[in-house]
């Protein structure tokens, strides 16, 4: 086995030093009757066969030439340099920076990540990452419940969050117990979240998507003001922070906590992950934050250095009183995100968000020009939107798939019982879609309905 550096002579020498006759002897502390009776002795595969098998599996997935879907997994054009940096052994094969004197690379990179996330979100402090955007919403809600010390047992959560995020939130809060989730419906006309009246005094937090799952840009300022007036926290979930190159930051609109999913900009959205959970908060909530946080400090020779800090929030110190159980996070994905945003800079991020928006609008306009195609909802959108097709949306998507185009995600998949979603498709475009791709797509859709397939 190529990863085991033991020669037979080494093994003999080591056994003699230990004072046991054979390797089996090392396992004598395991009672005989607890040992596996017939251990699996199947052989392994040499690298050439491994490759052939895994390449074969990978080839059985369909790769589309053009993707016009986001639905929480946006594809951005991540420069090769990001992969190169992230692939460096020093970043990839280190662990949590427990020994800061030999981990300054990771620590400083996290400090830069925290700066970038707090800048994008317009809030004071970011942590070093959470698992994904969905559990980040759950963590934000738990944070809000802690802030109110259990005196506010209700959370208001928008129906417009990503369906998977809603399910993760439900799992997390149900497990935690003693919390009631009031789901806020979307207005059938605009697609924006409707507050069922003034926020009540038992509400710990109000959480909405920005934009929401239908692509609609929620009025964060209004939601945040409503939450604040009742002493509740405003939580804003950003499915693709690339949009913050154009859209106002959650913090600027009054959010107390912003969370998000960074895998699109990190380049790991393929098959949906690894994800990258983002979280930024107002300074007053930093001691309630889940996860690792890096801080700047001084070192014994007088220089500046970085360490994991405020660890008294965390499980390895506080155990059952910790703010979360999270230990391993998504550090390497956070690094990819940091490198990409450092390459983009402020103008690159704005250009990327603008191009995504413009491509999406070109697609949307073109499709709306086809008789019978209409928007599902009327609220303002960024680069994602839902359209209702005159008939056979499934057939249309299959036709486009045959032409190498991943034509969005059918909304019926998430809620088959809603008749108004039966022929609706959630579409998106990013800077990766060329004008030609979009023109070609529109033409194919036109043909599909003209020919009455």
Partner 1 sequence: MSTQIHTGLLHREPPIFELSSPGRTGHALPPSEPLDDEGLPAAFLRQGAPLLPELSEVEVVRHFVRLSQWNHCIETGMYPLGSCTMKYNPKINDAMSALAGFTATHPLQEDEHLQGSLELMFQLEGLLCRVSGFHSVTLQPSAGANGEFTGLALIKKAIDVRGEGARRRKVLIPDTAHGTNPASVVLNGFEPVSIVTGPEGVLLPEAVRPHLDDELAAIMVTNPNTLGIFESHLKEIAELVHGAGGYVYMDGANFNAIMGKVRPADLGVDTMHFNLHKTFSTPHGGGGPGAGPVGCTAELAPYLPVPRVLRTNEGSYRLITELPNTIGRVHPYFGNFAILVRAFTYMLENGGAGLSRVTEMAVLNANYVRALLKDTLAVSVDVDTLHEVVFTDRDLKKETHVTTMDVAKRLLDFGFHPPTVYFPLIVPGAFMVEPTETESRVELENFVETVKAIVEEARTDPEKVTSAPHRTGVGRLDETTAARKRILRWTPAKP
| Closer to partner 1 by Cβ: residue 86 or 206 | 86
| Closer to partner 1 by Cβ: residue 189 or 347 | 347
| Closer to partner 1 by Cβ: residue 316 or 391 | 316
Q: How far is the CB of 450 from partner 1 (least distance, A)?
A: 25
Structure tokens at 24: 């089996």
Instruction: Give the C-alpha separation, 391 to 410, whole Å.
Output: 13
Q: Rounded to the nearest 5°, which phi and psi values hold at 72? A: 95, -10
| Closer to partner 1 by Cβ: residue 11 or 201 | 11
Instruction: Give the C-alpha separation, 405 to 329, whole Å.
Output: 34
Q: How far is the CB of 126 from partner 1 (least distance, A)?
A: 7
Alpha carbon of residue 252 to chain centroid: 22
Q: Cis check for the bond before 133: say yes or no (omega within 30 of 0).
A: no
| Closer to partner 1 by Cβ: residue 249 or 388 | 249
Q: How many CB atoms lie within 10 A of CB 78?
A: 21
Is residue 241 within 8 A of residue 265, CB to CB? The reply is yes
Q: How far is the CB of 30 from partner 1 (least distance, A)?
A: 5
DSSP letter assigned to residue 248: P
Structure tokens at 164: 């998977």
Place of tokens 């990258």: 276
Question: Which residues lie below 8 Å from residue 347, measured CB to CB, with a gap of 6+?
Answer: none
Long-range CB contacts (within 8 A, 24+) of 196-202: 198/226, 198/229, 198/230, 199/156, 199/226, 199/227, 199/229, 199/230, 199/232, 200/154, 200/230, 201/152, 201/230, 201/231, 202/152, 202/153, 202/154
Q: How far is the CB of 92 from partner 1 (least distance, A)?
A: 5
| Closer to partner 1 by Cβ: residue 156 or 219 | 219
Q: How far is the CB of 232 from partner 1 (least distance, A)?
A: 22
| Closer to partner 1 by Cβ: residue 12 or 200 | 12
CA 263 vs CA 311, 340, 374: distances in Å: 26, 11, 31
Q: How far is the CB of 265 from partner 1 (least distance, A)?
A: 11
CA 31 vs CA 19, 24, 26, 37: distances in Å: 20, 12, 12, 12
Q: How far is the CB of 372 from partner 1 (least distance, A)?
A: 21
Angle at 240 between CA 235 and CA 245, to 5 degrees: 95
Q: How far is the CB of 443 from partner 1 (least distance, A)?
A: 21
| Closer to partner 1 by Cβ: residue 124 or 392 | 124
Q: How far is the CB of 180 from partner 1 (least distance, A)?
A: 14
| Closer to partner 1 by Cβ: residue 50 or 201 | 50
| Closer to partner 1 by Cβ: residue 198 or 434 | 434
In 380-434, which residue ranges form alpha helices assigned H by DSSP?
393-402
Question: Which residues lie below 8 Å from residue 10, measured CB to CB, with a gap of 6+?
Answer: none
Q: How far is the CB of 158 from partner 1 (least distance, A)?
A: 16
Q: How far is the CB of 91 from partner 1 (least distance, A)?
A: 5
Instruction: Give the C-alpha separation, 19 to 270, whole Å.
Output: 51
Question: Which residues lie below 8 Å from residue 322, measured CB to CB, with a gap of 6+?
Answer: 313, 314, 315
| Closer to partner 1 by Cβ: residue 116 or 233 | 116
């Amino acid at each position: 086995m190529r990863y085991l550096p033991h020669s037979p002579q080494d093994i003999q020498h080591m056994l003699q030093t230990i004072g046991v006759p054979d390797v089996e002897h090392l396992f004598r502390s395991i009672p005989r009757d607890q040992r596996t009776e017939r251990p699996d002795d199947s052989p392994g595969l040499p690298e050439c066969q491994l490759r052939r098998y895994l390449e074969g599996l990978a080839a059985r997935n369909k790769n589309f030439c053009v993707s016009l879907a986001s639905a929480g997994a946006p594809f951005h054009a991540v420069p090769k340099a990001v992969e190169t940096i992230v692939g460096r052994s020093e970043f990839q094969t280190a662990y949590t920076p427990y020994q800061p004197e030999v981990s300054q690379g990771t620590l400083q990179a996290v400090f830069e990540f925290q700066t970038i996330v707090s800048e994008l979100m317009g809030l004071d402090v970011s942590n070093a990452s959470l698992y994904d955007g969905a559990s980040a919403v759950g963590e934000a809600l738990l944070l809000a419940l802690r802030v109110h010390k259990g005196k506010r047992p209700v959370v208001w959560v928008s129906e417009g969050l990503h369906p998977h995020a809603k399910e993760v939130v439900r799992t997390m809060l149900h497990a935690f117990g003693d919390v009631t989730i009031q789901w806020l419906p979307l207005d059938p006309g605009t697609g924006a979240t409707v507050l069922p009246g003034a926020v009540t005094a038992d509400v710990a937090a109000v959480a909405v998507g920005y934009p929401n799952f239908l692509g609609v840009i929620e009025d964060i300022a209004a939601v945040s003001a409503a939450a604040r007036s009742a002493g509740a926290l405003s939580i804003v979930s950003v499915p693709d922070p690339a949009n913050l190159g154009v859209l106002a930051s959650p913090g600027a609109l009054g959010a107390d906590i912003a969370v998000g999913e960074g895998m699109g900009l990190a380049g790991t959205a393929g098959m949906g992950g690894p994800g990258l959970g983002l979280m930024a908060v107002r300074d007053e909530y930093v001691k309630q934050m889940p996860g690792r946080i890096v801080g700047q400090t001084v070192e014994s020779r007088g220089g500046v250095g970085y360490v994991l800090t405020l660890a008294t929030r965390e499980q390895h110190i506080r155990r059952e009183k910790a703010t979360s159980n999270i230990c391993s996070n998504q550090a390497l994905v956070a690094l990819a995100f940091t490198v990409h945003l450092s390459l983009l800079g402020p103008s690159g991020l704005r250009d990327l968000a603008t191009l995504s928006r413009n491509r999406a609008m070109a697609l949307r306009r073109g499709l709306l020009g086809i008789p019978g195609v209409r928007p599902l909802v009327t609220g303002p959108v960024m680069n994602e939107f839902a359209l209702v097709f005159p008939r056979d949306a499934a057939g249309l998507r299959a036709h486009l798939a045959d032409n190498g185009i991943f034509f969005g995600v059918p909304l019926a998949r998430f809620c088959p019982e809603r008749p108004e979603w039966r022929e609706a498709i959630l579409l998106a475009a990013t800077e990766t879609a060329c004008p030609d791709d979009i023109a070609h797509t529109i033409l194919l859709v036109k043909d599909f309905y003209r020919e009455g397939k």
